Chain A
Amino acid sequence: MPNLGSRYLGFQLRTPFVASSSPLTGTLDGLRRLEDAGASAVVLPSLFEEELVRDALALHGALEEGSESFAEARTYLPEPLHYESALDKLLELVAAAKDALAIPVIASLNGTTRGGWTSIARAIESAGADALELNLYRVAADPSHHAAELEQRSLELIAAVRAEVTIPLSVKLSPFFTALADFACCAVKVGADGLVLFNRFYQPDFDLETLEIVPTLTLSEPEELRLPLRWVALLHGHVKASLAASSGIHSARDALKVLLAGADAAMMASALLKRGPELFREMEQQMTRWLEDHEYQSVEQLKGSASQRASPDPEAFERAQYLRTLRSYTKV
């Protein structure tokens, strides 16, 4: 029977299947179910620094509204008995997950300010997280912000967090970089132990009746695999860091593809939400069968065997591919 084990962020995972951030990883019950079904690591839901701030301001505003301005009512809501922020909840979840699970528990953080990130990262490490995933997603909407400056700031943030924690640090990237390969290498240079490709977020949509903007999050589709697949293949061997593919992995065949491209971990959320944690068990069996059928000894053997470096046709991963794809379609 082939060995499914894979090394990711320094952890020896039983399989390459990792549950990425989703509502499933947000409860202890969900985490237990994932582990039982075969997840070899879990990434907890991302903590958004911006949300943390907004939340505190909103509560503060609501408690202060109308207070101390009318003789009959000093306030209009009782002072909360406790204040449990999203960070407190995450720290509790980290601690509880560490207690309950044997697999690595990876906490995830989306921050916007250096001070905010670093202190929160330290708290997460102290709570017992095995690793930290930094979610580097920002919408660079301000035309006065230069790309190079923003990238530099992101690298500084990674370095600052690196300096604060000793646990493995991965960085989850968005695909929207002009020179992703360069940025990925720089991220690793300043301290990232791993790269996760890519994050997916709420995107605005319009309600055609009210013409209002409505935030939506659609679950990923298998077609989305192409993007991480390409970039894992391109980066494998070029960066000294673990690579995880995320977005569009819905089956054992998808997972095999990203492993071929060079991923150390296949991260999944949408497929698990659609089909439940049991999907892991099924995929494990299918992957084992495929490896057996194709006479592979282990996942390690397979890993990166079709990356750009290992490919007989390295250009296939680059821009020209588009035209060829079209051509191939026309042939059909």
Chain B
Amino acid sequence: MHVCIDGNEAAARVAHRLSEVAAIYPITPASPMGELADAWSAEGRPNLWGTVPEVIEMQSEAGAAAVLHGALQRGALATTFTASQGLLLMIPSMFKIAGELLPCVLHVAARAVATHALSIFGDHSDVMAARTTGFALLASGSVQEAHDFALVAHAATLRTRVPFLHFFDGFRTSHEIHSIETLSDDDLRAMVSEDMILAHRARRLSPDRPALRGTAQNPDVFFQSREASNPFYAEVPRIVAESFACLAERTGRTYQLVDYVGAPDAERVLVLMGSGVGTANEVVERLCAAGERVGVAVPRLFRPFPVAAFADALPRTTRAIAVLDRTKEPGSAGEPLYQDVLTACVEHSAAGTRSGIPRIVGGRYGLGSKEFTPGMVKAVFDELGREKPRNHFTIGIHDDVSHTSLPWDRTFRTEGPGVRAVSFGLGSDGSVGAAKSSVKIIGEQTGLFAQGYFVYDSKKSGAVTVSHLRFGPAPIRSTYQIELAELVACHHESFLSRIDVLGRAAPGARFLLNSPHSPTDVWDRLPGRVQRTIREKELELWVVDAHRVAREVGLAGRINTVMQPCFFALCGVLPPEQALSAIRQSIEKAYAKRGKTIVERNLAAVDRALGALQRVEVPTDGPLRTDEPAWIPETAPDFVRRVTARLLAGEGDLLPVSALPVDGTFPTGTARFEKRMLAEQMPIWDPTLCIDCGKCAIACPHAAVRMKVYPEAAGAQAPAGFLAKLFRSRELQSHALTIQVAPDDCTGCGVCVEVCPAKSKEEVKHKALDMAPAGPRRESERSNFEFFLQIPELDRTRLEGSTVKAAQTREPLFEFSGACAGCGETPYLKLLSQLFGDRLLVANATGCSSIFGGNLPTTPWSTDAEGRGPAWANSLFEDNAEFGLGFRVALEKQTEEARRLLLALAERVGEKLAQQILAERGQGEGAIAAQRARIQLLRSALAEIQGPEARRLESLADDLVRKSVWIVGGDGWAYDIGSAGLDHVLASAHDVNVLVLDTQVYSNTGGQASKATPRAAVAKFAASGKAVGRKDLGLLATSYGHVYVAQVALGANDAHTLKALLEADAWAGPSLVIAYSTCIAHGIDMSQSMAHQRDAVRSGFWPLWRYHPGSDPHQRPFQLDSREASLSLREFFASETRFSMLERSDPARAARLAALAQADASERWRHYSALAGIERSVPSVETPPTGSEPGAVRSPVPED
């Protein structure tokens, strides 16, 4: 069958049919394989033998690998899917599985391993890290191969008993949609030996035929045993080759252990694996046609390395070989494939099976999905042609530090005939969905070959997506982004001013623009740069007001089914009527499960689309508009102007090695330079109604609504239109208050307006904050915001931040992140930065918060006027609690050393000063400021003192000011993958604070169930509603007795959240704050984010409570801070799609689970109520081991 699917689906379609058990864990870019397998099993799709595979989600990849191992011991056909860090976590089990010759297949969407930075993108560093496990490694390089090799791997593992790791490139193959021929059940049956399955099953662990595995062996036999499996490995190449032959017989698609393409008498040969092969083949064919003697050798089986097959594949004429590795092994003699090729050639030469050794060089390419283009392939061949080709080179970057890089010709092209189209869409407008649908239509209905590749933004709000589509009469092997397109579509006019949309347009191409302007007006609205390109390249300009059409059919914002017919009309691949009919069919299929209304409205959009499409007469002369210069101001830091500005301009690929930090250290506070102008509506303040409550600012997920209090005189020079009111405060007289929006940073989510409690007496819809169209206000609000920023911040000691209002007068040091509009996590982080930002250390688990917190191009964590601010680091997903504890342990040691040195130098720096510094225990801003002032004096004194002790104390002096260490992460980390580490950290007596941003699903990877997912909620891996209740992480933590615990929900009670954070910081031992975080994965209107939090508490779904340990034997540490439910859980569930969608798909189960969930909530309330009456003390709290930290509180924090 001919279908268009991506690499993940291609592999999963085989794996699901050939497995009984799949143990999985979400990780980019492999998650879709597990999700598909789970979805198929959920709908009852059987495997080849008629049973529905059991798909089980585990707490980590380590857990998944262990389940895999166990299932294999029981003789099951088992599989898993993973990538990158996930594969690394599986390695210990992989050694065991291979050591025990347990046949299985692990499908890997190969992805970079995190080093100086995390990268979700493709390279081979993960699979290369697993190459010593004893797994056979099979590399596919295209979607078709991912499908075919999946089968070869499953077939060969059963025959060889050697477990297989089948890999393909993350994103480039895993997410590329391509037309392929699928393997039938009969193909699978023909390749997978029933006898071998029975043999595998017969070896299973069974009390009916008892055996023992996993012995501990002594020096006498371990070595020999390790060598005993050699014959099995020796057989692998032969059996894989036979499997390839069998596949070829059935399908006509031929593969060899080492494939060779090119001149039979080639002199220069390239060796590589993975998706780059397609591009290399394209270039080799072009060069050979021009008479060059070049070729490319592609090892399909990398482990065991097929030494003989490699020698056979290599033309005897080969003079020079370049081996390209998509990985880096710092300090090695060469990367893995290079080393193996070198070894194979040397061994053959030594054995006399080949005469001489060609010149062999190695190079690195494509790390972290760096583009690999025909020009780069040619550059490598050119290098091989030189007398002394460079070894250990890099290709694809400009290395001006170690000078490893080869130059390449960016204009060298090898693409064949066909249509190329590039479209720029805005996340959530359906652009990528439309592009995928178009690829499927063309690939499945026309006989043409089709390819779709999608480039996503690093932002979660206002993300730009770029779809690269190729259609043609010949197979498409171009595994690089389109450089020259015959059709460019821009789905949002605003992109034109910030993205070089037409840079990829071929001369004479058609340019489709979604614009609200008429054909006669649109030209004058285009930026000058765009006008110039249209003229220079002689582009045909077409416009459609897709948003108007979408609105008219009742699908506001979803322009996919308007743009799709226009795309087909202009790309000309299909006759118009055939295209429209195919689009209609695809809509009916895609939306069938969403109700008739959705189908009908989308069909209506299709029917109206072409009527709205119009050609624009491009004036051949006349003046062009003058563009405004880029926003980055002259005053921006050097790094921002030199590096960040290039990243923002989409020119990151052009940055040389020297421009980038050597160790992954980046400056903070750069998000403020990325003016994204996302908001179509923004909040407008009415000071006459404002009651100074600060709720708008505390709830704003983007720190775009700011509250500042300042002496009235500071506002004297304000621009006209800058608003202020008298600040109502007993402590601060004659101060003004301004609520100001950051107009270019606001996402327009509307959360601030929703939480604003101040309503007009005359007209209740009018509040102190109202949303208004952003366009007309942007300019004036921009100058207001500029002035606002110039007003000095209020001295932190003037108002203690123990009320919401006071806390919101503090400068947020977490601003303008790329989180989803209305994000429920970011308000907590912003509050944390306001309370402790200038002395805050954050260890951030991988997940949403590490992505919006640390994904380039910019960083939202920022600094105050003094240059202080949160210091932030992300290690891994699984180790975050321990990572953060490391911060604290080091800090304790450093503080202790500083105190020791201060004591030793007390006489010389001044006894009084030293004693004051050492005695400082106070809480609060005043104490912190006073200590900082003392440290300044100390520094001045130390400057006058000679000797190493003074220098050492200088280096540690800042650590005498109290720091706040926060360990931050989501529920996937805290409840699942990092739970053992978290537990251990909480069991310590160290002063660390843990903030769990609990969205109740793995948000970052797309809403997979975690142990925080509540009963009755639908999530990925719990598609039929989660059957069991969530883990009560907070309650577990209270079992230790000495851990401060709070369960909070900012939208329900902001003062409670504030209090909990302050208490957690003040508590000298470990603290855990679990923060309910609304998320788009809940299926809610995110502008109502805070209302959902309120209802979660009102319904008893998420009670608010604190556990405050102390030494008083009569104290009751558990305090229930919310009221008994006043809303039924049923009503709360009805308001969130994650619960209500089960009503639509399985009402009986929904009712059953909802009843159980209600029982959970009632029982929890009863339990908590009982706990609230229990007296409990922690005798050890008076003498914690961390006595050296200044300011630490040793006794229970009093209630205020």
Contact = CB atoms under 8 A, between A and B. Distances in A.
B901 to A, nearest CB: 47
A85 B430 CA distance: 24
B1106 interface: no
A202 interface: no
A52 B597 contact: yes
B432 to A, nearest CB: 4
A interface, over-half SS: loop
B595 interface: yes
Contacts of B596: 56, 85
Contacts, number: 154
Given A70-B460, A73-B1007, A84 B1147 contact: yes
Contact of A57 (B43, B433, B554): B554
B1145 A83 contact: yes
A64 B1079 CA distance: 14
B28 A72 contact: yes
Nearest to B1080: A66
Interface stretch (A37-45, A74-82, A132-140): A74-82
B1005 interface: yes
A74 B1083 CA distance: 15
Contact of A81 (B460, B463, B1145): B1145
B526 interface: no
B926 interface: no
B1006 A74 contact: yes
A69 B1147 contact: no
A249 B179 CA distance: 67
A57 B597 contact: yes
Contacts of B595: 52, 55-56, 59-60, 83, 85
Nearest to A120: B596
A65 interface: yes
Contact of A62 (B759, B1019, B1083): B1083
Q: Which of A70, A77, A84, A85 lies at the interface centre, i.e. has the most chain B CB atoms within 10 A of its CB? A: A70
Contact of A70 (B32, B35, B457, B591): B457
A80 B465 contact: no
A56 B1005 contact: no
A297 interface: no
Given A73-B1004, A77-B1137, A78-B39, A62 B1084 contact: yes
A67 B594 CA distance: 15
Contact of A58 (B456, B1023, B1137): B1137
A46 B43 CA distance: 32
Contact of B1144 (A53, A71, A74, A82): A82
Nearest to A58: B1137
A72 B970 CA distance: 15
Contacts of A84: 1144-1147
B1123 to A, nearest CB: 15
Given A63-B1137, A81-B42, A76 B1006 contact: yes
A81 B1004 CA distance: 23
Given A59-B1137, A64-B430, A69 B463 contact: yes
B498 to A, nearest CB: 17
A52 B600 CA distance: 13
Contact of A67 (B32, B428, B593, B1024): B428
Interface in B746-773: 759, 764
B558 interface: yes
B1083 A65 contact: yes
Q: Which of B28, B39, B428, B597 lies at the interface centre, i.e. has the most chain A CB atoms within 10 A of its CB? A: B597
A71 B456 contact: yes
A72 B1020 contact: no
Interface in B12-42: 28-29, 31-32, 35, 39, 42
Nearest to B434: A68
Contacts of B1023: 78, 81
A289 interface: no
B1018 interface: yes
A64 B558 contact: yes
A68 B820 CA distance: 13
Q: Which of A60, A75, A81 lies at the interface centre, i.e. has the most chain B CB atoms within 10 A of its CB? A: A81
A153 interface: no
Interface in B917-956: none
B484 interface: no
A69 B459 CA distance: 9
B456 A70 contact: yes
Interface in B977-1022: 1003-1007, 1018-1020
A71 B464 CA distance: 11
Given A57-B598, A69-B432, A74-B32, A79 B593 contact: yes
Size range of the interface on B? 35 or more
Contacts of A55: 595, 1144
A69 B492 CA distance: 14
Interface string A193-205: 0000000000000
B728 to A, nearest CB: 22
Nearest to A57: B597
A78 B1147 CA distance: 17
A77 B1145 contact: no
B1146 A82 contact: yes
Contacts of B1081: 66, 76-77
B171 interface: yes
A326 interface: no
A211 interface: yes
Contacts of B454: 68
Contacts of A63: 594, 1083, 1137
Q: Which of A59, A62, A68, A83 lies at the interface centre, i.e. has the most chain B CB atoms within 10 A of its CB? A: A68
B1138 interface: yes
B604 to A, nearest CB: 12
A74 B428 CA distance: 10
B430 A80 contact: no
A89 B1147 contact: yes
A34 to B, nearest CB: 20
Contact of B465 (A65, A69, A77): A69
Interface in B164-190: 171
A34 B276 CA distance: 71
A87 to B, nearest CB: 8
A78 B428 contact: no
Contact of A83 (B32, B426, B593, B1084): B593
A102 B1081 CA distance: 46
B120 interface: yes
Interface in B1057-1086: 1079-1081, 1083-1084, 1086
A124 to B, nearest CB: 15
A69 B1004 contact: no
Contacts of B1144: 55, 59, 80, 82-85
B76 to A, nearest CB: 25
B418 interface: no
B277 interface: no
Contacts of B360: none
A78 B1081 CA distance: 10
B512 interface: no
A85 B851 CA distance: 37
A74 B175 CA distance: 10
B1141 interface: yes
A255 to B, nearest CB: 34
A53 B598 CA distance: 8
Given A57-B597, A78-B1020, A81-B1146, A69 B427 contact: yes
Given A71-B171, A72-B851, A76-B1081, 4 more contacts: A66-B460, A73-B31, A77-B1007, A83-B594
Interface pairs A-B: 3 shortest CB-CB: A69-B427, A73-B1006, A56-B595
7 contacts: A55-B1144, A57-B597, A64-B558, A68-B427, A68-B431, A68-B436, A81-B1024
Interface of B: 28-29, 31-32, 35, 39, 42-43, 120, 171, 426-428, 430-433, 436, 454, 456-460, 463, 465, 554, 558, 591-598, 759, 764, 820, 851, 1003-1007, 1018-1020, 1023-1024, 1079-1081, 1083-1084, 1086, 1137-1138, 1140-1141, 1144-1147
